[in-house]
C-alpha cells in the first residue's frame, strides 16, 4: 500500500511538471512552406485577425484565410476583386478586422466594410491611412496618424482622441470583454487608449523599463488587460509577460522560444528592426505567435 501511494504521488508530481512546462513553452500548431503556396508569397503581416481557428490576413491586396485545424490556405476571389479595385484607385487596403457582418478594411483614405460577396457596405472617410482597425460587437476601433477613433456600429457616432506626440506605427491592444482599445509603442513609452463607461476615450501612458524597451516598433509588443507581452530583442528566444500595474518587477511569465530558431541573423538585423517577421495575436482565450521566417509560416499557441 505504501509503495502504491508513493507511486501515485510520483505520477502526480510528474504530471504537474509536464503541465507547468507546457505553460511556459510554445506549442506548435501549424507549419507551412511559404514557397509551396502562392498566396503566401512575399508575406508580411501587419495585423492578424483570428476567429474560430481561422487566421484572416491581407497580403498584396488579397484576402488570405489560413485554417489552423484543416491546415490549408485559401482566399475569396470576390473580396479580392474589390480589394484590387481599391488599389487601382490608390485607396490601398492596409489592415483588416473580421466580423460576422463582413471584413472591416482600413484603407489609405478611410474604413470600408466589405461583405463576403465583395460588396462595399459602408465607408467612413479618415484624414489619413488607417494603420490599425479592430471590430468589436458594438464598435470599430481605428488609428491613423496621431488620432484614435471609435465608430458606433448602430448610431455611427464617432469618438476621437488626438495625441500630438504620437509618431510611430501602431500596435494592437485587446482586452476582454468589450473594453477594447488601442495601444501604441513610442520608444520606451506605451500609450493606451480605452473607452470609459461614459463612452469617452481615455489615454494612459506606461513607461517601460530600459531593460525591456522594444524600440518604436509594435511588432515587438502585445497588450491585454493585465500584461504587456514583449520579445527579447537581443536573443529573440523568449516572450515576457510584464505586469502593467508593476512594470519594475520581474516578468510574471517567460515563454521559451529557443528551440524553434526564431532568432534573427546578423545579416538581417537592420531589416528585422522594421519587420522581425513575428506577430502576436489573441482569440478565443488563447495567445498566438505567428512567424514567417526561414521560408516557413508557423503558428504557435502559448
Percent of the chain residues past pLDDT 90, beyond the cut: 36
CA-based nearest residue to 165, from 149, 143, 142, 189: 189
Find where cell 507551412 sits: 32
Find where cell 513575428 sits: 278
Percent of the chain residues past pLDDT 70, beyond the cut: 76
Q: Tell me phi and psi for residue 234, to 5 degrees.
A: -80, -50
Find where cell 536573443 sits: 235
pLDDT of 285 > 70? The answer is yes
pLDDT of 21 > 80? The answer is no
Query: By the 8 A CB rule, do 212 and 242 touch?
Result: yes
d(CA 60, CA 209): 37
Locate 58 and state its grid cell: 491581407
pLDDT of 174 > 80? The answer is no
d(CA 198, CA 9): 54
Q: CA 213 → CA 210, 239, 253, 276, distances in Å? A: 5, 13, 17, 15
pLDDT of 149 > 70? The answer is yes
| Beta-strand relationship, 139-144 and 221-223 | unpaired
pLDDT of 170 > 60? The answer is no
How long is the chain?
A: 302
CA 199 centroid distance within chain: 24
Q: Tell me phi and psi for residue 180, to 5 degrees.
A: -110, 140
Longest dimension (CA), the chain: 79
Instruction: DSSP letter for 215, please.
Output: T
The residue ranking higher by pLDDT, 69 or 239, is 69
The residue ranking higher by pLDDT, 82 or 261, is 82
Query: By the 8 A CB rule, do 187 and 141 touch?
Result: no
pLDDT at position 110 is 96
pLDDT at position 177 is 45
pLDDT at position 117 is 97
The structural domains of the chain, ordered by start, are 34-301 (2.130.10.10)
The residue ranking higher by pLDDT, 14 or 231, is 231
Average the pLDDT over 185-211 and give the result. Answer: 79
CA 288 centroid distance within chain: 8
pLDDT band (50, 70, 90) for residue 235: low
pLDDT band (50, 70, 90) for residue 277: confident
Amino acid at each position: 500500500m505504501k509503495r502504491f501511494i508513493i507511486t501515485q504521488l510520483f505520477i502526480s508530481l510528474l504530471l504537474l511538471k509536464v503541465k507547468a512546462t507546457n505553460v511556459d513553452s510554445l506549442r506548435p500548431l501549424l507549419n507551412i512552406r511559404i514557397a509551396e503556396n502562392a498566396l503566401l508569397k512575399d508575406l508580411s503581416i501587419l495585423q492578424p485577425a483570428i476567429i474560430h481557428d481561422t487566421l484572416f490576413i491581407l497580403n498584396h491586396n488579397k484576402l488570405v484565410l489560413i485554417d489552423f485545424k484543416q491546415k490549408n490556405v485559401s482566399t475569396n476571389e470576390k473580396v479580392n476583386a474589390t480589394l484590387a479595385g481599391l488599389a487601382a484607385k490608390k485607396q490601398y487596403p492596409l489592415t483588416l478586422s473580421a466580423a460576422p457582418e463582413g471584413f472591416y478594411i482600413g484603407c489609405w483614405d478611410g474604413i470600408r466594410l466589405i461583405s463576403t460577396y465583395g460588396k462595399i457596405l459602408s465607408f467612413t472617410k479618415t484624414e489619413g491611412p488607417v494603420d490599425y482597425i479592430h471590430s468589436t460587437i458594438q464598435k470599430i476601433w481605428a488609428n491613423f496618424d496621431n488620432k484614435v477613433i471609435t465608430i458606433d456600429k448602430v448610431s455611427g457616432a464617432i469618438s476621437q482622441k488626438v495625441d500630438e506626440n504620437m509618431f510611430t506605427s501602431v500596435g494592437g491592444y485587446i482586452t476582454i470583454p468589450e473594453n477594447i482599445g488601442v495601444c501604441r509603442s513610442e520608444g520606451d513609452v506605451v500609450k493606451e487608449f480605452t473607452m470609459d463607461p461614459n463612452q469617452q476615450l481615455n489615454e494612459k501612458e506606461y513607461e517601460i523599463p530600459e531593460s525591456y524597451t522594444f524600440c518604436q516598433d509594435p511588432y515587438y509588443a502585445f497588450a491585454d488587460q493585465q500584461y504587456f507581452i514583449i520579445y527579447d530583442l537581443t536573443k529573440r528566444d523568449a516572450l515576457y509577460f510584464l505586469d502593467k500595474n508593476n512594470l519594475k518587477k520581474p516578468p510574471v511569465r517567460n515563454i521559451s522560444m529557443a528551440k524553434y530558431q526564431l532568432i534573427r541573423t546578423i545579416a538581417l538585423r537592420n531589416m528585422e528592426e522594421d519587420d522581425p517577421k513575428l506577430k502576436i495575436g489573441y482569440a478565443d482565450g488563447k495567445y498566438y505567435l505567428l512567424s514567417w521566417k526561414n521560408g516557413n509560416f508557423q503558428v504557435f499557441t502559448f
